[in-house]
Amino acid sequence: MLITSLLPLLARYSLGFDLVAGADGVVTLTVIPRKAESAKAALEPAEARPISITGTAAEIDEQLALGAEGALGQIFAARRDLADQLAEQRKAAEDAKAQAASKAKPAAKTAPTPTAPAKAPAPVAAPADEPLSLY
């Protein structure tokens, strides 16, 4: 039953388990996700972090039996969604960067040629028979 409920996760992940018994029948199950050999994309660091579930053996069995609808399946689904969003954002940022670089290249090739500074207009000389006035 455990393996059958985890089959959907095994398409993307190779799973390692650590099981520790505590006091009063409490058990901690730690699931360590790794990239499955058949998976094409590498796992994001947050997606590959171990997941610990603590409860009684019956509670953990119940959650694992729910498969993708259980706690473990929901955690994996949320992490996968976040990893997909991060991958999309990275691709959009790379595309925008490449587009900006391609727009900058033609502008750099056709840099404007320096022009001579504009000459100030020549002062108009007053007629010789008129006195200069400020008014």
Let me know if residue 55 belongs to a domain. Answer: yes
Task: Output the pTM of the full model.
Answer: 0.57
Let me know if residue 123 belongs to a domain. Answer: no
What does the pLDDT look like over 90-107, one tens digit per residue? 899 999 998 888 887 765
> What was the pLDDT predicted at 117?
65
In total, how many domains does the chain have? Answer: 1
Let me know if residue 87 belongs to a domain. Answer: yes
Q: Angle at Cα 81 formed by Cα 33 and Cα 72, nearest 5°?
A: 45
Instruction: For residue 87, give its domain range.
Output: 2-103
Contacts of 59 (CB under 8 A, 6+ apart): none
For residues 55-84, average pLDDT: 82
For residues 110-131, average pLDDT: 61
Query: Could you give the percent of the chain with pLDDT greater than 70?
Result: 77
Let me know if residue 120 belongs to a domain. Answer: no
Task: Please report which helix (H) or strand (E) contains residue 27, including its range.
Answer: strand 26-35
Of 59-63, 64-68, 87-91, 131-135, least confident by mean pLDDT is 131-135
Let me know if residue 116 belongs to a domain. Answer: no
Let me know if residue 38 belongs to a domain. Answer: yes
Which candidate, 65, 37, 61, 31, places its Cα nearest to that of 49? 31
Cα 7 to Cα 68: distance, rounded to the nearest angstrom: 10
- How is residue 102 written in tokens? 């391609």
Let me know if residue 26 belongs to a domain. Answer: yes
Q: Under DSSP, is residue 9 helix (H, G, I), strand (E, B) or coil?
A: helix
Query: Could you give the percent of the chain with pLDDT greater than 90?
Result: 12
Q: What is the mean pLDDT of the chain?
A: 78
Residue pair 25/39 in contact (Cβ under 8 Å)? The answer is no
Decide if pLDDT at 115 tops 70: no
Let me know if residue 134 belongs to a domain. Answer: no
> What was the pLDDT predicted at 14?
86
